[in-house]
């Protein structure tokens, strides 16, 4: 009797995993369609100040694009409905509407993404209910590792205790909607052998079809998805037939998919490393073109780690694991403004941030039964250098010890007053964040632990907290390896040069940057490494939420996730913006960005 395959390999590819990438279709717009009860066929865009940050598909069909100014967008599509994001001012919250008379003052208001964060949490809860391994990639997308569920379902099919593969598919809907392949064909389930890699993908497609239906039924939101044997291929596939479709990547389609995938669209090759590869190999315009260059040639041109990574990625190979991360590691709010020179103006802005952070702390406590132990406040004067101060989070009168808005303002102001008095004003930017969480139940336990005998306390002591900076560096050293001299010296210079541009540049990456990509970019003797972070305005991350930021002070980079510090190699300033995913590690041989989006300056 055939058995479900496990640990399978084909052409160096691991085929024993089933990974899905799910992406909400024009998510911000869907949230507004539901909130305002606007028909889905009406062209709609979400605006922030005078620019568009989300555009639905009917509006895209009329030529409207993300980033368009509102007047330009209206010129393209006169029937376009514009909805401004929610804002917060000292007068309270301003929800935003589709009323053309709705006006917002950028100099007195701060953007809030709470509406979309709440909807995102709603979606992620459904994802986690259907799959135990969910990695939130941004506010509107996630990776799911379906391997265990797929294997369990396949055992039922193989053992005769459940329906056949064809019956599984037919029970979920039409085959062309469930088994659409990346090349536009429909996988013929009747010809799929139970011991083939495609059998796992078929079951994964059935599970994702069920999940997408649950999301639609419970939230009215549509989701596109990609299903393959790794994260890279699934990410590419989810965008192939949007909106509201799911796409499979059978092993037989991978080579053709690589042949149509522009090299610069491969994750990790959109920046300096991609430029270096294109310069050295101008003939390689697609991922498959790069396959013409041998492993030895790629290693010789770059280094062992980077060469190996390039050789694998251009063949659709990716071993990156799905890492569950649904609990944010920090709750951050930032606002840049015209320099203020009076304390009452600074306190007013601090109150605006405090209202947002208070609301988010309350929601986080309700969702995860935990409380932040550390409060962070950040300040930027006219010099452009951001300075942060942090301290223990005071306990408020709330049953869980949460602070009120006024209490949070007072605590934040106390932190800012730790700065030299002559540097506090004028101020052009402030930030506030709650981080370093502990479970509410553990707070009581920690008090009673003082009354335990010393030996018992030692025996019950938890393992030391993991230093995520050290972990990142260890990963970086494993793959790729640290560039050998003289590349290391070049990389060191590149990191120092990169730091000089942070104060004035916003930089962007559409996805996590593999360590190999960052190290190779530095080794390629580029003048700077850029991480472009998808920001229109630096008080919101435009949907790519997450959990950590970095704040520079003096010559060290302090992570707002854990408070650890690392040498900045002369970096003048780095700060998180909005709800960040970026975790920055400055090593002697370059800069690695992990996570998604934020602003460096």
Rounded mean pLDDT of 436-450? 65
Question: Domain 338-445 is in which class?
Answer: alpha beta
Kindly give, in sequence order, each residue whose CB lies less than 8 Å from that of residue 447, ignoring residues fewer than 6 positions away.
Answer: none
Take residue 370 and report the two structure tokens written for it. 């935990």
Q: What is the pLDDT of residue 112?
A: 93
Please tell me the distance from the alpha carbon of residue 90 to that of residue 77, in angstroms, as a whole number. 35
Kindly give, in sequence order, each residue whose CB lies less than 8 Å from that of residue 171, ignoring residues fewer than 6 positions away.
Answer: 163, 206
Angle at 366 between CA 328 and CA 370, to 5 degrees: 55
Question: Domain 27-117 is in which class?
Answer: alpha beta
Cα Rg of the chain (Å, integer): 25
pLDDT by residue (tens digit) across 16-43? 899 999 999 999 999 999 999 999 999 9
pLDDT by residue (tens digit) across 319-330? 899 999 888 889
pLDDT by residue (tens digit) across 530-577? 222 233 333 333 333 333 333 333 333 444 334 444 433 333 333 333
Angle at 356 between CA 354 and CA 360, to 5 degrees: 115
Q: What is the mean pLDDT of the chain?
A: 77
Angle at 303 between CA 298 and CA 306, to 5 degrees: 75
Q: What is the pLDDT of residue 454?
A: 44
Q: What is the pLDDT of residue 561?
A: 37
> Bigger pLDDT: 204 or 367?
204
**Band of residue 590 on the pLDDT scale cut at 50, 70, 90:** very low
Rounded mean pLDDT of 423-445? 86
Take residue 273 and report the two structure tokens written for it. 């490393």
Residue 205 has pLDDT above 70, yes or no: yes
Residue 7 has pLDDT above 90, yes or no: no
The runs of H, that is alpha helices, within 248-342 are 254-260, 272-280, 295-301, 304-313
3-state secondary structure of 248: strand
Q: Taking the CA of residue 85 as centre, how many other CA atoms within 13 Å lie in the half-sphere pointing to its CB? A: 30
Number of Cβ within 10 Å of residue 71's Cβ equals 8
Q: Which of 9-18, 88-97, 231-240 has the lowest mean pLDDT?
A: 9-18
Per the CB < 8 A criterion, the answer to whether 372 and 331 are in contact is yes
In percent, the amount of the chain with pLDDT more than 90 equals: 57
Q: Under CATH, what is the fold of the domain 9-18+146-256? A: Alpha-Beta Plaits (3.30.70)
* Backbone φ, ψ for residue 231 (5° rounding): -65, -40
Rounded mean pLDDT of 99-127? 92
Instruction: Work out the angle between the directed axes of helices 165-172 and 147-159 (0-180°, nearest 10).
Output: 120
Please tell me the distance from the alpha carbon of residue 403 to that of residue 201, in angstroms, as a whole number. 48
> Bigger pLDDT: 579 or 293?
293
Q: What is the pLDDT of residue 270?
A: 86
Q: What is the pLDDT of residue 443?
A: 55
Rounded mean pLDDT of 506-520? 40
Q: What is the pLDDT of residue 268?
A: 84
The neighbouring-strand residues paired with 88 are 93, 110
Q: What is the pLDDT of residue 14?
A: 61
Residue 523 has pLDDT above 60, yes or no: no
Residue 224 has pLDDT above 90, yes or no: yes
Q: Taking the CA of residue 45 as centre, how many other CA atoms within 13 Å lie in the half-sphere pointing to its CB? A: 32
Residue 446, classified by CB atoms within 10 Å of its CB into exposed (0-12), middle (13-18) or buried (19+), is exposed
Rounded mean pLDDT of 3-26? 70
pLDDT by residue (tens digit) across 459-493? 433 344 344 333 443 443 344 433 343 333 333 33
Number of Cβ within 10 Å of residue 382's Cβ equals 11
* pTM greater than 0.85 (yes/no): no
Q: Which of 182-191, 287-296, 322-331, 482-491 has the lowest mean pLDDT?
A: 482-491
Q: What is the pLDDT of residue 536?
A: 30
Take residue 191 and report the two structure tokens written for it. 């010809």
Per the CB < 8 A criterion, the answer to whether 8 and 15 are in contact is yes
Rounded mean pLDDT of 87-92? 91
Residue 396 has pLDDT above 60, yes or no: yes
Q: What is the pLDDT of residue 99?
A: 83
Q: What is the pLDDT of residue 513?
A: 42
pLDDT by residue (tens digit) across 409-421? 999 999 999 988 8
pLDDT by residue (tens digit) across 50-84? 999 999 999 999 999 999 999 999 999 999 999 99
Kindly give, in sequence order, each residue whose CB lies less than 8 Å from that of residue 161, ignoring residues fewer than 6 positions away.
Answer: none
Q: Taking the CA of residue 467 as centre, how many other CA atoms within 13 Å lie in the half-sphere pointing to its CB? A: 9
> Bigger pLDDT: 423 or 34?
34
Please tell me the distance from the alpha carbon of residue 599 to that of residue 601, in angstroms, as a whole number. 6
Place of tokens 């368009």: 68
Rounded mean pLDDT of 215-239? 96
3-state secondary structure of 513: coil
Rounded mean pLDDT of 310-324? 92
Q: What is the pLDDT of residue 497?
A: 39
Rounded mean pLDDT of 240-265? 93
Per the CB < 8 A criterion, the answer to whether 465 and 498 are in contact is no
Nearest residue to 575 via CA among 273, 407, 330, 272: 330
DSSP E strand boundaries for 9-161: 9-10, 13-14, 19-24, 44-48, 51-55, 81-84, 87-89, 92-94, 110-111, 134-138, 141-145
Give the DSSP letter of residue 394.
Answer: P
Please tell me the distance from the alpha carbon of residue 386 to that of residue 540, in angstroms, as a whole number. 17
In percent, the amount of the chain with pLDDT more than 70 equals: 71
Q: What is the pLDDT of residue 545?
A: 35
Residue spans of the domains in the chain: they are: 9-18+146-256, 27-117, 261-313, 338-445, 471-594
Please tell me the distance from the alpha carbon of residue 462 to that of residue 135, in angstroms, as a whole number. 25
Q: What is the pLDDT of residue 384?
A: 85
Kindly give, in sequence order, each residue whose CB lies less than 8 Å from that of residue 255, ignoring residues fewer than 6 positions away.
Answer: 288, 316
Q: What is the pLDDT of residue 40?
A: 96
pLDDT by residue (tens digit) across 347-373? 999 999 999 999 999 999 998 899 999
Q: Under CATH, what is the fold of the domain 261-313? A: DNA polymerase; domain 1 (1.10.150)
């Amino acid at each position: 009797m055939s058995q479900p395959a496990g640990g399978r390999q084909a052409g160096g590819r691991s085929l024993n995993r089933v990974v899905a990438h799910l992406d909400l279709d024009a998510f911000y717009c869907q949230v507004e369609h539901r909130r305002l009860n606007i028909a889905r066929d009406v062209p709609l865009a979400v605006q922030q100040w005078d620019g568009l940050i989300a555009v639905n598909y009917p509006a895209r069909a009329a030529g409207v694009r993300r980033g368009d100014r509102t007047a330009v967008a209206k010129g393209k599509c006169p029937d376009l409905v514009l909805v401004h994001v929610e804002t917060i001012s000292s007068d309270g919250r301003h929800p935003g509407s589709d009323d053309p008379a709705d006006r917002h003052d950028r100099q007195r208001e701060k953007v809030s993404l709470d509406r979309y964060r709440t909807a995102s949490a709603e979606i992620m809860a459904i994802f986690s209910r259907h799959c135990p391994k969910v990695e939130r990639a941004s506010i509107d997308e996630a990776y799911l590792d379906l391997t265990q569920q797929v294997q369990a379902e396949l055992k039922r099919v193989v053992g005769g205790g459940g329906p056949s593969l064809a019956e599984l598919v037919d029970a979920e809907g039409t085959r062309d909607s469930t088994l659409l392949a990346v090349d536009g064909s429909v996988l013929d389930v009747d010809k799929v052998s139970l011991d083939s890699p495609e059998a796992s993908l078929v079951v994964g497609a059935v599970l994702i079809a069920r999940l997408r239906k649950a999301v639609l039924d419970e939230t009215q939101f549509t989701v596109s998805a990609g299903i393959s044997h790794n994260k890279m291929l699934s990410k590419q596939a989810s965008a192939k037939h949007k909106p509201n479709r799911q796409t499979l990547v059978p092993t037989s389609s991978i080579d053709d998919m690589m042949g149509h995938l522009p090299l610069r669209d491969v994750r990790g090759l959109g920046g300096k490393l991609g430029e270096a590869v294109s310069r050295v190999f101008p003939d390689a315009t697609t991922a498959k073109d790069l396959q013409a260059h041998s492993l030895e040639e790629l290693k010789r041109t770059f280094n062992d780690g980077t060469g190996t990574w390039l050789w694998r990625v251009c063949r659709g190979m990716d071993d990156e694991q799905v890492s569950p991360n649904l609990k944010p590691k920090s709750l951050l709010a930032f606002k840049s403004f015209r320099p203020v020179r009076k304390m009452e103006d600074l306190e007013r802005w601090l109150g605006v941030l405090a209202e947002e952070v208070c609301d988010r702390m309350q929601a986080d406590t309700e969702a995860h039964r935990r409380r932040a132990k550390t409060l962070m406040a950040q300040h930027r004067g006219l010099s452009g250098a951001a300075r942060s101060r942090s301290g223990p989070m005071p306990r408020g009168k709330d049953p869980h010890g949460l602070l009120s808005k006024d209490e949070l303002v007072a605590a934040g102001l106390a932190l800012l007053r730790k700065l030299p008095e002559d540097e506090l004003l004028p101020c052009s930017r402030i930030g506030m964040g709650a981080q370093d969480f502990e479970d509410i139940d553990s707070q009581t336990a920690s008090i009673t632990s003082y009354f335990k005998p010393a030996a018992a306390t030692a025996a019950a002591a938890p393992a030391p907290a993991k230093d995520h900076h050290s972990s990142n560096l260890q990963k970086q050293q494993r793959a790729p390896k640290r560039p050998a001299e003289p590349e290391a010296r070049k990389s060191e210079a590149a990191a120092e040069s990169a730091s000089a541009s942070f104060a004035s540049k916003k930089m962007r990456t559409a996805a996590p940057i593999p360590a190999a990509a960052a190290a190779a970019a530095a080794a390629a003797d580029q003048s700077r490494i850029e991480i472009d972070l998808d920001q229109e305005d630096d008080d919101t991350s435009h949907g790519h939420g997450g959990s950590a930021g970095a704040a520079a002070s003096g010559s060290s980079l302090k992570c707002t996730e854990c408070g650890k510090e690392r040498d900045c190699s002369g970096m003048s300033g780095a700060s998180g913006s909005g709800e960040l995913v970026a975790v920055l590690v400055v090593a002697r041989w370059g800069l690695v960005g992990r996570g998604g989006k934020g602003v460096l300056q």
